[in-house]
Amino acid sequence: MTNSLFKTLIITLATIANTTVVYAASTDDAGYIARQRNDVRINEDPAHKGDIFSSQDMIVTGEKIFSMLKFRDNSSMFVKANSKVSISEYQYNKNDPKDSKVVVELTEGGLRALSGAIGKANPQAVEFRTPVGTIGIRGTDFIVSIVDGQLFMEVLDGAIMVENTDGEPVLLQAGQVLVLGADGTLAAHGNQAKKIGKKSGAFTEFTKVSFSGDQENSPYSWGPWTVTDIANPTDSGDGSDGSSSTTALDETTIPNETASAK
C-alpha cells in the first residue's frame, strides 16, 4: 500500500467510525490537494481532494484536468491540464521559514504559483526548474507554461529571476512576459512575447483561475488553511524586504515595452 493511499485510508476509516482523527504530518509532507477536476494522480496513484503529497512526489494531470495545491507554508499552486510537476525538495521550518527550501520541477504543461512563508522570508530558497531554464522568485505570483518545447513566463506580482541553460540571468518584473526557445535562448519578450503567448494559448487556463470564497479546512495538523484567491492575491510579496532589487551587475532586466512589437 502506497503512502498516500495509507493516509487516505486512515481518514476514511475515521469518518466511517464517526470519529475525528488529525493526521500528524511528517517532515516529508509538503502539502495537500485543495481542489481538483477529474482524475489527478500523485505519481501513479489516483488522488483525491484532501490527499497529501510529499517531497519527491509528482503531480500528474490529464486532459481537461486541473489541480489546486496548498503547501505547508501557505503557498498555493494551480497545475493546469496535461502537466507533470515534481516536488523535488520541500523542507519547511515553521519556526524559522528562512531555514527552509523548495525545489519544484515542471517537465510538461504549466502552473501558476503564489508565494507563501518560505518565499517571503527567504526567496532565494525557492526554485522552479524546467527543461530550458531555472526560475528563482522574489516574493511573487507568476505563471510558467511549456508549449511545443518553448517556455512561457508571465509575472503577475513581484518578480522572478530566470536563468537559461547558458546560465544567463534575466530579471522579469510584474506585467512582463518572457519566452525562451526550446534551446534555452531568448525567443521573445515584451509585447511580442505577449502576442506569441496569446496565440499559443500558454496563459489561457490561468486567466480563469479564481478560488474566491472557497475555503478548505485541512484535516491535518498543519491547518486550518484557507485556499487563497490566486486570481486576486492580497498578500503577495511586494519587494519591501529588498528582495526585488535590480542593482546586481550580472542581471539583465527586461524593459517594459509600450510600443507594439514589429
**In-domain check, residue 233:** no
Q: For the segment 5-39, what is each residue's pLDDT rounded down to a tens digit?
A: 545 444 444 443 443 333 444 557 899 998 887 78
Q: Residue 242 has what pLDDT?
A: 33
**In-domain check, residue 172:** yes
When mean pLDDT is compared across 97-106, 195-204, 233-242, the lowest value belongs to: 233-242
**In-domain check, residue 235:** no
**More confident position, 109 or 243:** 109
Q: Residue 255 has what pLDDT?
A: 52
**In-domain check, residue 158:** yes
Give the position of cell 527552509. Answer: 100
Q: Residue 155 has what pLDDT?
A: 95
Does the structure show a pLDDT above 50 at 247? no
Quick one: average pLDDT of 146-154? 96
C-alpha cell at 127: 526554485
Q: Residue 1 has what pLDDT?
A: 52
The domain in which residue 192 lies consists of 27-198
- Could you tell me what percent of the chain has a pLDDT over 70? 68
* CATH number, domain containing residue 115: 2.60.120.1440
Average pLDDT of the chain to the nearest whole number: 76
**In-domain check, residue 261:** no
**More confident position, 242 or 162:** 162
- Could you tell me what percent of the chain has a pLDDT over 90? 54
Q: Residue 139 has what pLDDT?
A: 78
How many folded domains does the chain comprise? 1
Position 59 confidence tier, pLDDT thresholds 50, 70, 90: very high
Q: Residue 140 has what pLDDT?
A: 86
**In-domain check, residue 4:** no
**In-domain check, residue 34:** yes
Q: For the segment 160-203, what is each residue's pLDDT rounded down to a tens digit?
A: 999 987 788 899 999 999 999 999 999 999 999 999 999 999 99
Partners of residue 240 on adjacent β-strands: none
**In-domain check, residue 40:** yes
